[in-house]
Structure 1
Amino acid sequence: MAVNVLLAAVAALAAVPVLIVSLLLLDALIFLAVPSGFWSLFLDTKPASVALPGTADPEKGHGPVHRSAGSPDKLMMRAHDGVKTLWDNFDFGAKISPDAPCLGHRNPGGGKQSDGRPAKASAYVWQSYSEVKQAALSFGSGLQQLELVPEVDELEGGVKLRPLAMFLKNCTEWIIAELGLFSISGCTVPIYETLGEENVSHVLSQTACKTVVCKAAEAVKVAQAVGSTPSIKAIVLVGGDADGAAAAACKEAGLALHTFEEVLETGAENARDPLPPSDADVATFCYTSGTTGPPKGAVLTHRNVVSTCAAVNLVARIDRRDAHLSYLPLAHVFERCVVHAALGNGACIGFSQGDPRLIPDDLKCLRPTMFPSVPRLLNRMHDKVLSGAAKSPLKNFLLTAALAHKGLRLRKAQIPTHWLWDRVIFKAVKKAMGLDRCRILLSGSAPLAPHVLQFLRCVLAPAQVVEGYGATENCAGVTVQVSMTLGDVGPPLRHNEIKLVSVEEMGYRWNDTKHETRGKNIDCEGRGEVWVRGHNVFPGYYKMEDATKDALTEDGWIQTGDVGLWLTNGALKIIDRKKNIFKLSQGEYIAAEKIEETYTQAELVQQAFVYGDSFQHCLVAIVYPDPEALAAWAKSNKPDLDTKDGQAVSDCKELNAAIMDQIKAAARGAKLHGFEICKAIHVAAEAFSEDNGLLTPTFKLKRPIAKKHFADQIDAMYAGLEGSLKHSVKDD
């Protein structure tokens, strides 16, 4: 009897794998066999945006104005009636979560690990909302008592400027200083590392900042730049030795040096009543990286940021249970909006250690519930998971099967979860990424490759994984996806409206109904340049009236330069750029013509076509050599090269290396940024000309034609570069 029971138990256990495999196959067959139209019966297929009747202007080529379907009659300005400014926003969060964790940091560990990285840091150490509020008020009082933020300018409408420069990486002091400044109606002037010495001087001089908050290394840089920035009078030192190198540099430059703690203590001893701002007051400046000239200072008001936080939170649904890891630069408006959205809803914010290599460790320590990110980091996560699984044939098979199966369910029915794969495969993957508690991931700053977006949705389910679209001038928040579609950026957020304006010279019209992509025609409801208007749109560039007029129309529309189309589901899809300026995956803007002009200063280069896109982190270039310089080079370096044979010239590795060396030298001479120097080149076999369709009659490069003409070469260059995304330009 016992033997029979044992045999029956063994048989039952043996049948379990067969049953599971059978259920998986049945599940897959159902989704393969049943058409997508059936699943759409269970989905909300109403358009996510609506066109306002009577708003199109066919004579001007302007399409109808689109608004969120959730709020077609009124643009959203704020989440709560009493929250008009970022100080109100923080105060609201402090009232609902007074004793809850607000800002956190990790104390560094001693020594180093075996791979040379710093030893593991401590767990997060937290300051409560009440503590942060008191520190902010003390800092604001200290700034006033020490006269560190005088009024320097008055804008239209009586808006007064009291700027404070912030030249440091993300940390608790950054936010305390900004909140303290808001409590006395001041504004921040963030400076990020890639600006360069000359541009840093430009920013400080243009805004007439008296004081810079920074760490010791940056304090030395500021002290050295005092000659070109006479307005600078003081440094507030964060986490440094007041008697060290920074003190010596400040003394030599004639700068007053105050520690962060000194400002706090002075404010605590000389407390003053807050002087809160109005919603029209300037909250912050955000300077561009100066790709086409000196950096432009985008002025962002409290209304701009508060409305963006409110609109985005209708998608993100942040509350006091949430945790955010702050690692994206606070000098960029995307991260600032996320931080203030978290503060306004009582969530906690943990700061990264400042080293990109340590972000995975910070994620595992904090286990954030919300994870705004950028394509470059998400691409790395995608590659790391796949490469890790590839080391084990069994793991690779299971992960591939799980991704394929869940991908099928997502495409057909927008079902992100799975009864088996989420438990046996993706639970461990999420934990290894530090995202096992994540409930929303928002990708911004540049387009995310569809296959990476799909991968993240499969891995992180049931978390909401979406893409957004925006720019500094519209406070980084114009659209956000509300469904699990691919290739679009979602409908307008509720605080702004969008219209498409025909770009006749590029063949895009506001009333187009078809768009060709990847060899297929898709239905659309208009194509054109994306214009945005709303509470998030900035008032202009500081002290740059001409640039402001170029960007903004008289009736408040910002002309983004992006070309988009309306999909039939009401979502916006970005398909092109009107100008020859584009972003790399890390968010850096590239002015192609300026870079090409520099490259052609190399002796061996007669023509250059610089290529990059928002899926890649670096540039590549197609170059055609100068015939005379080529002949001279070949005579000395490659006598057997037939310089008349275009293919032989194109295939010559020695020539390729020589041209690359000259391009690097020319780039250094022109002081180009590192991201403006191409990582690979292809030597064209023939010159760019009218005959081969690459040049216009006025000898301007036809970029879309050049991109298509050299698609194979561009793909080959990126394929040979480490860290580049496997994305073909033919798919664009």
Structure 2
Amino acid sequence: MEIKRTFDLLANLKHNINKDDMLCAKRNGEWVKFSVKEYSEQARLFSYGLLAKGFQKGDKIVTVSNNRPEWNFVDMGMSMIGVVHVPVYPTISDEEYKYILEHSDAKMLIVSDVILYKRLKEVSKEIECIKEIYTFNDIKDATNWSEITQLGEQERIKWKDEFKVIRNSISDEDLVSIIYTSGTTGNPKGVMLSHKNFMSNMKDAIPRYPLSPKDNILSFLPLCHVYERMINYLFQANGCSIYYAENLATIAQNLVEIKATAFVTVPRVIERIYDKLVSKGNDLSGIKKTLFFWAMKLGERYRTNGKNYPLYAAKLKIARKLIFSKWQKAFGGNLRFVVSGGAALQPRLSRLFFAADIPLMEGYGLTETAPVLASNYIHEPGNLMIGTVGTVFNSVEIRIDEDGEILAKGPNVMMGYYKDEKTTAEVIDKDGWFHTGDIGTLIKGKYLKITDRKKEMFKLSSGKYIAPQAIENLLKESDFIEQAIIVGESEKFAGALLAPNFEYLHMWAHDNKVHFRDNQELINNEKVFAIYRKEVMRFNKLIGKHEEIKRFRMVHEAWTSASGELSPTLKLRRRIIYRKYADILREMYAYAENEENKGSIKFN
């Protein structure tokens, strides 16, 4: 059957895929599995229950939850009667919650656990439009979401016909969800997405990835994020069994338990996996350690589409048998491919995983494009180029503007920003082109390469432009560097703040007999500073003369979304970092004696 609306996925599953483990979650140490039939029934009962409570097409409901089967039940239940789903991150600030709850005009709030319930119960007291709060978990004195499905069961006959009329009236052009962008500055914007936005993108993705009902997928990126949301629909369209990870700390364990065949991720997770692999390699000794790092260096030289020399191929065969086969075992033994998105992926990591016979492919998109514009894929030769985000989706048009900005047009481009026609008009021009804000180029006329964010590029006082993301990504290839931010707007030279990979640095300090009380003392050690200076100098040789990092400083804490330096999607929040380290930046850009610093680093 033709899939035009999100809930058509349910009908497709019901008619074509009869399986007992469609959606799965681990509870009390055991995997709890929901069949296609249970999924369909729970979603329909939720629709009936909402109708019985007086919800109408166009009303909004906010969910704040971890990944779980129930998220899908309510998502589909809302969409079948035209209620708009507003999924929100569980990790944002109270101020952001207040803004979204009020701005979205949501009538109901559904949260997952007791911590969120207590927090958002207080926040929502100030929000007039929120009439009720429900929970997924059983919480004392809280109203459970199952009461809505129970109401739907009780009034099934009363609302059955009305439900069908509303469902059949819903067009693929109708609004199905508002997703608030996490943003790095200002209030989040509510991106309005239609059924067509999601389903056109999902259909473009289907031929790119070899998926079937035999696949077990581990899902751990937040379902409230547009990337995991669309991919979640893609998995359902292919009838895959979706297992929701307990949390980020259990990913490795869960992959093994379900013998996962694929998963989607963001670069930060891959970087952490890589760090753990390197850590295990460092724990080896003798010939085993030598072989491990030989295989790693070999893997980083991998070339796709069969372009490896015969001698390299022979060496790789040995590396796969002795070293990389253990990686596959660590992932559960059945992993066929991984897709990365959300931020730039280091090309060497993609090469390394390809060498390990675990294709790691990069894609690109935005919330406003539901989300994917381009991706690499492995079906056919010529559709994969490491270091790029691949080829453009079939229904999407891409144009590179005169200033290098990527413009996009297609059925996946958003309806607009909720209650914000002015900003909508600023990003979607009169000819329908969406201005992504990203700078890029088409290599060989087909492979899209992202070079930076338009708004994040800056000029030195010499007038030379700096594109920080590319340099930051390069620096993160060092085992010693976990995060980096390039600074120097209107200054004489580019500088950097470096957040060390403390796990790796602690091991190095132990091996080199560097003693320290805490991370602050460690980064001030002369030997440590010398190591980082050497690393920076190494990367300076790979970039333009005007881009070279003349000065850098290390910070003694990790940057996380919880502490505010990273967004929920793990992107740098530049202005927050500038403010936090304003004193360090001022000191770094202090000029020589009798000189005044006339630069204009922006600290807010």
**Fold agreement, TM-score > 0.5:** yes
1:291 pairs with one of 180, 184, 206: 184
Looking at structure 1, the residues matched to 353 and 151 of structure 2 have their Cα atoms a distance apart, in angstroms, of: 48
Partner of 2:349: 452
Looking at structure 2, the residues matched to 478 and 96 of structure 1 have their Cα atoms a distance apart, in angstroms, of: 29
| C-alpha RMSD of the superposition | 3.6
Cα 1:557–1:580 shift into 2, 3 Å: same
2:136 pairs with one of 238, 248, 252: 238
Partner of 1:132: 39
Looking at structure 2, the residues matched to 500 and 441 of structure 1 have their Cα atoms a distance apart, in angstroms, of: 28
Do residues 465 (structure 1) and 360 (structure 2) align? yes
Alpha-carbon shift at residue 620 of structure 1 (Å): 4.7
Letter in 2 for 1:235: I
Cα 1:97–1:411 shift into 2, 3 Å: closer
Partner of 2:405: 529
Do residues 203 (structure 1) and 100 (structure 2) align? yes
Cα 1:231–1:379 shift into 2, 3 Å: same
Do residues 383 (structure 1) and 275 (structure 2) align? yes
Looking at structure 1, the residues matched to 306 and 182 of structure 2 have their Cα atoms a distance apart, in angstroms, of: 42
Letter in 2 for 1:134: E
Partner of 2:197: 304
SS at match of 1:536: coil
Cα 1:464–1:90 shift into 2, 3 Å: farther
Q: Which has the higher contact order (CA 8 A, sep 6+)?
A: 1
Contact 2:299-2:352 within 8 A present in 1 as well: no
CA deviations on 1:547-589 (whole Å, 9 max, x unpaired) are 10111011211101111111116201111222128xxxxxxxx
1:477 pairs with one of 365, 372, 382: 372
- Larger CA deviation: 204-213 vs 274-283: 274-283
SS at match of 2:303: helix
Contact 1:90-1:340 within 8 A present in 2 as well: no
Partner of 1:268: 153
Q: Give matches, 1:492-641, under 5 Å.
A: 492-503=392-403, 528-568=404-444, 570-580=446-456, 615=473, 618=483, 620=485
Partner of 1:28: none
CA deviations on 1:530-559 (whole Å, 9 max, x unpaired) are 000001110110001111011101121110
Cα 1:686–1:610 shift into 2, 3 Å: farther
SS at match of 1:413: coil
Looking at structure 1, the residues matched to 394 and 289 of structure 2 have their Cα atoms a distance apart, in angstroms, of: 43
Partner of 1:253: none
Looking at structure 2, the residues matched to 126 and 361 of structure 1 have their Cα atoms a distance apart, in angstroms, of: 18
Alpha-carbon shift at residue 209 of structure 1 (Å): 0.8
Cα 1:311–1:622 shift into 2, 3 Å: closer
Partner of 1:424: 322
Whichever of the two has the greater Rg, that structure is 1
Looking at structure 1, the residues matched to 305 and 412 of structure 2 have their Cα atoms a distance apart, in angstroms, of: 35
Looking at structure 2, the residues matched to 173 and 443 of structure 1 have their Cα atoms a distance apart, in angstroms, of: 25
Alpha-carbon shift at residue 453 of structure 1 (Å): 1.1
CA deviations on 1:474-515 (whole Å, 9 max, x unpaired) are 112000013443211111011211000111xxxxxxxxxxxx
Looking at structure 2, the residues matched to 622 and 559 of structure 1 have their Cα atoms a distance apart, in angstroms, of: 25
Letter in 2 for 1:303: K
Cα 1:400–1:195 shift into 2, 3 Å: same
Looking at structure 1, the residues matched to 291 and 129 of structure 2 have their Cα atoms a distance apart, in angstroms, of: 62
Contact 1:403-1:458 within 8 A present in 2 as well: no
Alpha-carbon shift at residue 412 of structure 1 (Å): 8.5
Contact 2:388-2:449 within 8 A present in 1 as well: yes
SS at match of 1:101: coil
CA deviations on 1:257-287 (whole Å, 9 max, x unpaired) are x312211221122222343231011121110
Looking at structure 2, the residues matched to 413 and 278 of structure 1 have their Cα atoms a distance apart, in angstroms, of: 45
Do residues 374 (structure 1) and 278 (structure 2) align? no
Partner of 1:183: 80
Q: Give matches, 1:91-130, under 5 Å.
A: 91-108=11-28, 121-122=29-30, 124-130=31-37
Letter in 2 for 1:199: E
Alpha-carbon shift at residue 345 of structure 1 (Å): 1.6
Alpha-carbon shift at residue 206 of structure 1 (Å): 1.4
Contact 2:50-2:152 within 8 A present in 1 as well: yes
Looking at structure 1, the residues matched to 347 and 483 of structure 2 have their Cα atoms a distance apart, in angstroms, of: 19
Looking at structure 1, the residues matched to 435 and 591 of structure 2 have their Cα atoms a distance apart, in angstroms, of: 35
Structure 2 segments unaligned to the other structure (5+ residues): 378-382, 460-465, 477-481, 490-528, 531-550
Letter in 2 for 1:191: V
Partner of 1:513: none
1:677 pairs with one of 577, 580, 589: 577
Partner of 1:338: 231
Partner of 1:363: 255
Alpha-carbon shift at residue 90 of structure 1 (Å): 2.6
Letter in 2 for 1:387: S
Letter in 2 for 1:397: T
Cα 1:333–1:414 shift into 2, 3 Å: farther
SS at match of 2:371: coil
Partner of 1:349: 242
Looking at structure 1, the residues matched to 241 and 486 of structure 2 have their Cα atoms a distance apart, in angstroms, of: 44
Letter in 1 for 2:178: F
Cα 1:278–1:412 shift into 2, 3 Å: closer
Alpha-carbon shift at residue 419 of structure 1 (Å): 4.2
Letter in 2 for 1:370: A
Letter in 1 for 2:252: P
CA deviations on 1:90-125 (whole Å, 9 max, x unpaired) are 3212321123421001123xxxxxxxxxxxx32x22
Alpha-carbon shift at residue 317 of structure 1 (Å): 2.8
Partner of 2:511: none
Contact 2:300-2:349 within 8 A present in 1 as well: no
Cα 1:677–1:579 shift into 2, 3 Å: closer
> Percent identity at matched positions?
25
Letter in 2 for 1:557: W
SS at match of 1:184: coil
Do residues 433 (structure 1) and 337 (structure 2) align? no
Contact 1:103-1:126 within 8 A present in 2 as well: yes
TM-score calculated relative to the size of structure 2? 0.74
- Larger CA deviation: 559-568 vs 88-97: 88-97
Do residues 487 (structure 1) and 387 (structure 2) align? yes
Contact 1:307-1:535 within 8 A present in 2 as well: yes
Contact 1:481-1:491 within 8 A present in 2 as well: yes
2:50 pairs with one of 134, 143, 158: 143
Cα 1:364–1:141 shift into 2, 3 Å: same
Contact 1:283-1:300 within 8 A present in 2 as well: yes
Do residues 169 (structure 1) and 66 (structure 2) align? yes
Looking at structure 2, the residues matched to 670 and 385 of structure 1 have their Cα atoms a distance apart, in angstroms, of: 26
Looking at structure 1, the residues matched to 199 and 36 of structure 2 have their Cα atoms a distance apart, in angstroms, of: 19
Looking at structure 1, the residues matched to 230 and 567 of structure 2 have their Cα atoms a distance apart, in angstroms, of: 30
Contact 1:444-1:467 within 8 A present in 2 as well: yes
Contact 1:498-1:530 within 8 A present in 2 as well: yes
Alpha-carbon shift at residue 187 of structure 1 (Å): 1.8
Do residues 88 (structure 1) and 8 (structure 2) align? yes
Looking at structure 1, the residues matched to 487 and 232 of structure 2 have their Cα atoms a distance apart, in angstroms, of: 41
Contact 1:311-1:493 within 8 A present in 2 as well: yes
CA deviations on 1:612-652 (whole Å, 9 max, x unpaired) are 7763665557699xxxxxxxxxxxxxxxxxxxxxxxxx99x
Cα 1:453–1:233 shift into 2, 3 Å: same
